Amino acid sequence: MRVGILTGGGDAPGLNAAIRAVATLTLANGGSVVQVRDGWKGLIGDGDLVQLDASAFEGILNIGGTILGSSRTNPMKMEGGVEACLRNIERAGLDALVAIGGDDTLSVARRLAAEGGPVVGCPKTMDNDLSVTEYCIGFDTAVSIVAESLDRVRTTATSHHRAVVMEVMGRDTGWVALDGGIAGGADFIIVPEFPPHLDELVEHVQARWSSGKRHSLIIAAEGTEMPELGGREDAGGERDAFGHVRLAKRGVAERLAEAIEERTGKETRSVAPSYIQRGGTPTAFDRIWATRCGTVAYDLAEKGSFGQMPVVRCGRVDTAPIADVVAQQRLIPRELYEMTQAFR
Ligand code: F6P
């Protein structure tokens, strides 16, 4: 079999483990592996594909990012983009293409498979917001980095008696903020699914000082909407090819910190780990599950089960139609969010 692999969207730790799994199995079964460079961009125009030998996949298990390169190219928004992808897949003689990515990358994979392309998916996004699957490559590492960042910020918050607001990624869902906040002991977790009123936050900070704690660690997801945070268009309105505004430009942590300091009189600072949270070495968990998902993605490709992808359900890797996975976002359930309120 001649198997193409591509990674699309934001890079995430664990991608290389999945790439290595697909490549190792393909080569072990006498096949060849083709790199599609920089996501869907590599299938536009005349295509940008290159055959790789086994040496390309040596020593990459523990390396962050993606050796294949990535981009947010959306062929569905380009004139003749979908046709170009299908043509380049055929011209390169690919029997299968494994597309590793989040909802944007997978929505293109679903379309190509629907048009007869030999495409299977694999779940990756540090946002962890794909439905059907309980695991997405990169989430565990991101949460671990956020928890460690909170640990480190805590020393300044307690020593200087300050409130600190940390902004984390996650786009329209709050999984990174929620799990990072639980693991790092944030005393107030702000997620887009359940945005608080500023009064609630102000009362919380005042109560911490009144009770003698005299510091506060607040974690806020970048996609949260509150009147004090301004609209998404305030972030310059710049959109990527999938129509997403760059949320980091809004400065959610800065705006919240200013509002809290103004209302409470307590010194309040802001911090954002930004790309640090999706950079560097993947955790063992991400390496293991990315390898397991990559293995099942290869199996699907080998069987010709196109339009399908690995998903993690109840502690095992199962498979599901890509269409089901991208049909909706997985949101934080109310009872889980309410559970965190006991730790304020
Ligand atoms: O989707 C992954 C993600 O890291 C989001 O959490 C974040 O909003 C976005 O990517 C950042 O995108 P970019 O890499 O284009 O800055």
Q: What Å distances lie between residue 92 and 62, 65, 66, 112, 245, CA to CA?
A: 30, 25, 21, 16, 34
d(CA 131, CA 162): 38
pLDDT in 10s for each residue of the chain, 344 residues = 999 999 999 999 999 999 999 999 999 999 999 999 999 999 999 999 999 999 999 999 999 999 999 999 999 999 999 999 999 999 999 999 999 999 999 999 999 999 999 999 999 999 999 999 999 999 999 999 999 999 999 999 999 999 999 999 999 999 999 999 999 999 999 999 999 999 999 999 999 999 999 999 999 999 999 999 988 777 777 899 999 999 998 999 999 999 999 999 999 999 999 999 999 999 999 999 999 999 999 999 999 999 999 999 999 999 999 999 999 999 999 999 999 999 99
Give the CA angle between residues 332, 338, 342 to the nearest 5°: 135
Residues 6+ apart with CB under 8 A from 231: none
Q: Which of 104, 130, 179, 244 maximizes ligand 1 atoms within 8 Å of its Cβ, making it the mutation to test the pocket?
A: 244
Q: Which residues lie with the beta carbon below 6 Å from any ligand 1 atom?
A: 9-10, 102, 125-127, 169-171, 222, 246-247, 278
Residues 6+ apart with CB under 8 A from 324: 131, 132
Which of 113, 184, 129 lies closest to 328, judged by CA? 129
d(CA 73, CA 80): 13
Residues 140, 126: contact at Cβ < 8 Å? no
Q: Which atom of ligand 1 is nearest to the CA of 244?
A: 8
What is the enclosing helix (H) or strand (E) of 102?
Answer: none
- The answer to whether 127 is a known catalytic residue is yes
Q: Which atom of ligand 1 is nearest to the CA of 223?
A: 8
pLDDT (tens digit per residue) in 321-340: 999 999 999 999 999 999 99
d(CA 182, CA 176): 10
> How far does residue 110's CA lie from ligand 1's centre (Å)?
21
Write the DSSP symbol of residue 235.
G
pTM score over 0.85: yes
d(CA 192, CA 175): 10
